[in-house]
Amino acid sequence: MAAPTEPRGTALNEASPDAVVLDTDGVITDTARVHASAWKRVFDDFLRRRARERGEEFRPFDTGADYLLHVDGRPRADGVRAFLASRGIALPEQVSRPGQDSVAALADAKDAAFRAALDRDGVVAFPSTVALVRRLRKDGIGVAAVSASRNCARVLAAAGVDALFDVRVDGMDAARLDLAGKPAPDLFLEAARRLGTPPGRTAVVEDSLAGVEAGRRGGFALVVGVDRNGRAAALAERGADVVVPDLGELGWPPWRTR
């Protein structure tokens, strides 16, 4: 487990935030790994078939590096494009003839795999995150759930935590409002706007590299990185002020480490 790092010093060190915006997959619910394994199944099927057809070596999708660098925190189709680009592969956006590979077909297959896993296994919320959110609410601090995922409402409801959040901004909103995906800060800024707090009085909690970068780029007062996979240094490098292995490690007030 990564040791908590000290806050780098932000405007919030001596005062409470007025609101906290939390990423969903991997911060509120234990679903980052469900996304990662759905991606692996779909990309590995594609890569194996492609390698066979071309007589090349099959190099599988890595749920560590490939997921974190290219897919985690990004909208579905962006994740497909970014990962394929990392392997030097370009596909058409849509299928123009039956059986053709496309960005849309891989994205649809991943969504089917993800939903099947949700239906089969259910969803668990991290108890430490739920405890933190309850504490924030008790103190009158607004809380929002944010996600690049179009499945966010379904995930929060399946975990039984949807009623805990004052605001939700997700992949459905992003499509409807034409918000740019992470690492652009648009989703977090929209959440802060709906909560009625300026970014300079709002904290962001994220576990993805793209997400901490979005928090930093949005000018948020504090970006908390949650590191469940030993990548504290990368999260700090991309903009996290403080990195903890779990939100149970955040002291109170919530920006102080124990």
Choice between 32 and 47, CB closer to ligand BG6? 32
Site pattern 80..99 for ligand BG6 (x: CB under 6 A): --------------------
Choose the binding region for ligand BG6 from 43-51, 74-82, 123-131, 158-166 (rule: CB under 6 A): 74-82
Contact 44, 59 (CB under 8 A): no
Report the relative pairing of strands 222-226 and 202-206 from DSSP bridges: parallel
> Residue 201 or residue 229: which is nearer to ligand BG6 going by CB?
229
Secondary structure of the chain: what % helix, strand, coil (to 5)? 45, 10, 40
Identify the active-site residue in 18, 23, 207, 227. Answer: 23
Smallest separation (angstroms) from ligand BG6 to the CB of 208:
6
Given a contact cutoff of 8 angstroms between Cβ atoms, the answer to whether 17 and 221 are in contact is: yes
**75 binding ligand BG6? (CB under 6 A):** yes
Tokens 């039984």 belong to 160
Q: For the segment 155-184, give every residue that binds ligand BG6 (CB under 6 A).
A: 171
Site for ligand BG6 in 97-136 (CB under 6 A): 111, 114
23 catalytic residue (yes or no): yes
The one catalytic residue among 18, 25, 173, 207: 25
What H or E segment, with its residue span, contains residue 225?
Answer: strand 222-226
Residue 21 sits at φ, ψ, to 5 deg, of -110, 120
CA 174/CA 33 separation, integer angstroms: 23
Total residues at the site for ligand BG6 (CB under 6 A)? 18
- Reduced to 3 states (helix: H, G, I; strand: E, B; else coil), residue 73 is coil
Query: Is 227 among the residues that bind ligand BG6 (CB under 6 A)?
Result: no
Q: Which of 63, 129, 147, 202 binds ligand BG6 (CB under 6 A)?
A: 147
Closest to 209 measured CA to CA, from 225, 222, 221, 220: 225
Half-sphere exposure of 129 (CA within 13 A, CB side): 31
Q: How far is CA 177 from CA 4, 138, 172, 181, 190, in A?
A: 36, 31, 9, 11, 10
| 186 is a site residue for ligand BG6 (CB under 6 A) | no
Residues 15-34 that bind ligand BG6 (CB under 6 A): 25, 32
Neighbours of 134 (CB within 10 A): 12
Shortest Å, Cβ 252 to ligand BG6: 27
Assess whether 72 carries a catalytic annotation. Answer: no
Q: Among 129, 149, 197, 202, which residue interacts with ligand BG6 (rule: CB under 6 A)?
A: 149
Q: Which is nearer to ligand BG6, 51 or 104 (CB)?
A: 104
Active site residues: 23, 25
| Residues at the interface with ligand BG6 (CB under 6 A) | 25, 32, 35, 71-73, 75-76, 79, 111, 114, 147-151, 171, 208
